[in-house]
Amino acid sequence: MIARVRGTLAVAAGDHAVVDCAGVGYYLSVSAQTASVLPSVGEEVVLHSHLVVRDDAMNLYGFIDADERSLFQLLLGVSSVGPKVALAILSSAPPGPLRTAIASGDAPRLQAVPGVGKRTAERICVDLRDSVGLIAGVSGGDDVESPRQMAREGLLGLGIDERAVDALLDKASGDSVEELIQSALRESRK
């Protein structure tokens, strides 16, 4: 199993990234959430990963943090949810709000994701209701992380030192996770 890929970002696209590790370029399919916080091409990146082995292919999926990967793995455990659908679900919102939606049985929110029908959305809510809170150590998914906490996790996932992350976030401006991370990364280049 390939649990983590660390190297130089060679390609960053909306649905994938290529990370150069010791001369080997690893193609990782990523969620829109992960793609939005990838550093610039040529910079170092750390992606948590999950390898899916099929008869005809081996596909590597990359995530900005272990929490997103854990939710991906839980989604794969639900009948009729494959890697593409799981990635589409993760692309629709950050892990915190998704956990809350699943724990509260908000099937219509999941149905809004392309490839997720009514039955699949309901099955996800029923099958994962008790499990989603365990990922982050919360009960029932009631606690939703603040944008600052999520931005902090994303920056740590990029391999930035904890003290530096806190200092960068103190200088960063923005209301959303994406704005905070982009602002913090701009601050780090100064």
Instruction: Kindly state whether residue 115 falls inside one of the protein's structural domains.
Output: yes
Instruction: Kindly state whether residue 141 falls inside one of the protein's structural domains.
Output: no
Residues 78 and 113 in one domain: yes
Residues 58 and 103 in one domain: no
Q: Domain containing 53 — which CATH number? A: 2.40.50.140
Could you say which DSSP state residue 144 is in?
P
Domain final residue, candidates 100, 129, 158 = 129
Residues 9 and 52 in one domain: yes
- The reported pTM is 0.69
Residues 31 and 50 in one domain: yes
Q: What range defines the domain where residue 108 resides?
A: 66-129
Q: Tell me what pLDDT residue 170 has.
A: 85
pLDDT, one tens digit for every residue, the chain (190 residues):
789 999 999 999 989 999 999 999 999 999 999 999 999 999 999 999 999 999 999 999 999 999 999 999 999 999 989 999 999 999 999 998 999 899 888 999 999 999 999 999 999 999 998 888 654 444 434 445 677 888 888 888 778 888 888 888 888 888 777 888 888 888 888 7
Residue 50 and residue 140 in contact, taking contact as beta carbons nearer than 8 Å: no
Instruction: Kindly state whether residue 136 falls inside one of the protein's structural domains.
Output: no
Torsional sign, CA 169, 173, 176, 177: negative
Domain final residue, candidates 63, 83, 100 = 63
Instruction: Kindly state whether residue 137 falls inside one of the protein's structural domains.
Output: no
Burial degree of 138 (CB within 10 A; 0-12, 13-18, 19+)? middle
Q: Tell me what pLDDT residue 145 has.
A: 62
The amino acid sitting at 56 is: D
Instruction: Kindly state whether residue 108 falls inside one of the protein's structural domains.
Output: yes
Supply the mean pLDDT for the chain: 88
Could you say which DSSP state residue 3 is in?
-
Residues 57 and 106 in one domain: no
Cα distance between residue 136 and residue 72, in whole Å: 13
Q: 184 by DSSP, 3-state: which?
A: helix
For strands 16-21 and 4-12, give the pairing.
Answer: antiparallel
Instruction: Kindly state whether residue 178 falls inside one of the protein's structural domains.
Output: yes
Instruction: Kindly state whether residue 124 falls inside one of the protein's structural domains.
Output: yes
Domain final residue, candidates 13, 46, 63 = 63
Residues 164 and 151 in one domain: yes
Instruction: Kindly state whether residue 142 falls inside one of the protein's structural domains.
Output: no
Cα distance between residue 77 and residue 135, in whole Å: 14
Q: Domain containing 118 — which CATH number? A: 1.10.150.20
What's the total number of domains in the chain? 3
Residues 20 and 72 in one domain: no
